[in-house]
Structure 1
Amino acid sequence: MRRRSLLLAVPAGLLTLAGCGEESSDKDKVGASVSPEASPDASPKVVDGPLPAITGGTKFGEKPVVAKGSGKPSTDLAVKTVIAGSGATIAEGDWLRAHYLGQIWNTAEVFDNSYDRKKPLVIQLAQGKIIDGWRIGLAGKKVGSRVEMAVPPSLGYGEQGQGGIKGTDTMVFVIDVQETFNGKSSAKGKEVPQDDVALPKVGTNTDGKAPEITVPKAAAPKKLVSQYVLEGDGEVVQATDTLLLQYKGVLWDGGKEFDSSYSRGQLADFPLQQLIKGWQEGLAGKKVGSRVMLVVPPDKGYGDQASGEIPANSTLVFTLDILAKM
């Protein structure tokens, strides 16, 4: 899956000089190389079939076995909710975490599946990030649903195809939607006491609003501080991970906010290795689903260089909700 340069989405300052290129993931294909042209029809027709039968792995979360397509596929996008979930409704622009299997209509050749990797895909349902078939076909579905779709070339990779997928191939997908995230998402972990009066206090609200950060009137710590505010129960973050985050940053001196994903109403996805050392060291080892408070001294932040609204030699305080690993 090819990702566009993260410089396009990163607030001023948070990337180090290392973050100037593109990143490629291993095998994910649904967001790999979307058609260079937007769909000519702003509202493509969605039909309920035909779709091949799912003959095995019929439970949500199980790797499905899908029959070969019978006859000619529709030239429209065919979508069916196989298992109806009861979670949040997915909207275009949301991020989602999902397991999926993809195969070719007329051969039943599986070209990709996340079940064998044991790693669901986390991706945004936005034009240019994901093929149009997913972007259109999953909008309006609910978390916990299994969705089957047949995606014609015009809503997939177009006439040029992608990898072993020819420009004439209709792709069949089975998608198990596990979770969705948007600009109103929050961590939902267990509250952890904040007892040290010499450290900032961070709000524990989980309503998607920016938590308050109260900075004490005291000298800033000289070393990096990384503590749970809400402790989740997800995977442990590795130094090489890319994370989906909500965050806010304020200056220790005066408590002025200098950056926030909440104020933009958009989540941030960052490769941890491309961020300031305070984030790299402070988030590695923490669990997905957590809210973390970081106090970043200048030597782990921007040092003696000013950056945007951050003066030189500033100690920074962050609250970060780790929503997912990419």
Structure 2
Amino acid sequence: MRRRSLILAAVPAGLVTLAGCGDDESDSSKASESTSPSASASAPASAAPPPKIVDGPLPAVTAGVKFGEKPTLPKGSGEPSKQLAVKTLVAGSGTTVAEGDYVQAGYLGQIWDSGKVFDNSYDRKTSLVIQLAPGRIIDGWRYALAGKKVGSRVEFSVPPTWGYGAQGQAQAGIKGTDTLVFVVDVQGTFNAKSSAKGTDVAQDDVDLPKVGTNTDGKAPSIEVPKGDAPKKLVANYVIEGDGPKVAATDSVLVQYKGVLWDTGKEFDSTYGRKELTSFSLQQVVKGWSQGMTGKKVGSRIVIVIPPELGYGAQPPAGSGIKKDSTMVFTVDILAKL
């Protein structure tokens, strides 16, 4: 059994409670539209063997041909492939996407036979961030995007076997016999080695913890001073990114490590589990929600959480956190979901 993420464990009355584990996708981390290929209820883990990757057929993009533009393409001509047809329309030069990574992407999806667009992120002006893992996204995405590089535009067709299966997706108007066509712009990829990217910020207050600024994917150090812990919440930049600001209603993808103020002992870490964590800021302890609100994506922050904004007198059983403990976290905000 994998260790639970303590920030997402059940917490005392009066604080936010989340029933799931840190490696489970929160409701708000799913795509906002049920038609999205990432909706968990519509993306069951398939027992089908991996498809063959073939070149076509695929309809040609007739407008919006550049990376990042909303594409337009006709309905499919003739019979679609029974396998996974994949074509790289724009070859990127960034990091290579691997199975299990989180991918940030713009996308459009339509039905082969009718050309009906059932979902696209371009009109929403919001990218999808989703893990390429069984049960998190339809299998066609996993197989089509693994091995592609950031900056690539990829077109692919997905037959039901590696899509929504024989049950289809009624809410999106997708029948169990429909082959789907996607155009995906791969904007970024994140995994357990990802770190913040930005400008180092001076850590001049000797009464506050000092956090390492390494960006090699390894856990940064946290040096806790010997004095008394602050009575109020502290949330400061260590590395300031240049992404959009996080809102209190957002979900985020993060790397983090937590230690106790009194002892400096580590009690939780995504680095130790070698996996990222995603969650809604409405589902974590108040210190996390308040501390991260307004901070920029791409940043590393240090959060010092007093007991009343953390676990108070009822810390999670077996966590190693004593009652009324002040917690210190270093958090890399990798993406908004």
Q: How is 1:197-212 mapped onto 2 (pairs within 5 angstroms)?
A: 197-212=206-221
Alignment counterpart, residue 11 of structure 1, candidates 5, 13, 21: 5
Work out whether residues 71 and 108 of structure 2, in 8 Å CA contact, stay in contact via their aligned partners in 1: yes
1:39 aligns with 2:47: yes
Letter in 2 for 1:219: D
Please state how far the C-alpha of 1:204 moved relative to its aligned partner. 0.4
1:71 aligns with 2:82: no
Please state how far the C-alpha of 1:199 moved relative to its aligned partner. 0.5
Alignment counterpart, residue 322 of structure 1, candidates 305, 313, 333: 333
Post-superposition CA distance 1:144-178 (Å, at most 9, x none): 00000000000000000002100000000000000
SS at match of 1:262: helix
Distance 1:240 1:10 in 2: 23
Q: Identify the residue that residue 5 of structure 1 maps to in structure 2.
A: none
SS at match of 1:136: helix
Q: Identify the residue that residue 174 of structure 1 maps to in structure 2.
A: 183
Work out whether residues 45 and 134 of structure 2, in 8 Å CA contact, stay in contact via their aligned partners in 1: no
Letter in 1 for 2:139: D
Letter in 1 for 2:32: D
Q: How many residues align?
A: 318
Length-normalised TM-score, structure 2: 0.91
Q: How is 1:1-326 mapped onto 2 (pairs within 5 angstroms)?
A: 10-15=4-9, 16=11, 18-20=17-19, 23=27, 25-27=31-33, 29-32=36-39, 33-36=41-44, 38-41=46-49, 43-162=50-169, 163=171, 164-307=173-316, 308-326=319-337
SS at match of 2:62: strand
Post-superposition CA distance 1:8-31 (Å, at most 9, x none): 985135344532376254215101
Distance 1:134 1:249 in 2: 34
Which has the higher mean CA deviation after the structures are superposed, 307-316 or 205-214? 307-316
Distance 1:81 1:284 in 2: 37
Distance 1:297 1:203 in 2: 22
Q: Identify the residue that residue 23 of structure 2 maps to in structure 1.
A: none
Work out whether residues 9 and 268 of structure 1, in 8 Å CA contact, stay in contact via their aligned partners in 2: no
Letter in 2 for 1:12: L
Identity %: 64
SS at match of 1:56: coil
SS at match of 1:299: helix
Letter in 1 for 2:329: F
Letter in 1 for 2:88: T
Q: Identify the residue that residue 3 of structure 1 maps to in structure 2.
A: none
Distance 1:228 1:13 in 2: 20
Distance 2:47 2:98 in 1: 18
Cα RMSD between the aligned structures? Answer: 1.5
Work out whether residues 183 and 262 of structure 1, in 8 Å CA contact, stay in contact via their aligned partners in 2: yes
Please state how far the C-alpha of 1:304 moved relative to its aligned partner. 1.3
Distance 1:39 1:136 in 2: 14
SS at match of 2:143: helix
Work out whether residues 85 and 142 of structure 1, in 8 Å CA contact, stay in contact via their aligned partners in 2: yes
Please state how far the C-alpha of 1:309 moved relative to its aligned partner. 1.2
Distance 2:332 2:270 in 1: 11
Letter in 2 for 1:193: A
SS at match of 1:289: coil
SS at match of 1:282: helix
Distance 1:92 1:176 in 2: 17
Cα separation, partners in 2 of 1:116 and 1:315, compared to 1, 3 Å: same
Q: Identify the residue that residue 4 of structure 1 maps to in structure 2.
A: none
Work out whether residues 47 and 76 of structure 1, in 8 Å CA contact, stay in contact via their aligned partners in 2: yes
Length-normalised TM-score, structure 1: 0.94
Work out whether residues 39 and 155 of structure 1, in 8 Å CA contact, stay in contact via their aligned partners in 2: no
SS at match of 2:27: coil
Work out whether residues 96 and 125 of structure 1, in 8 Å CA contact, stay in contact via their aligned partners in 2: yes
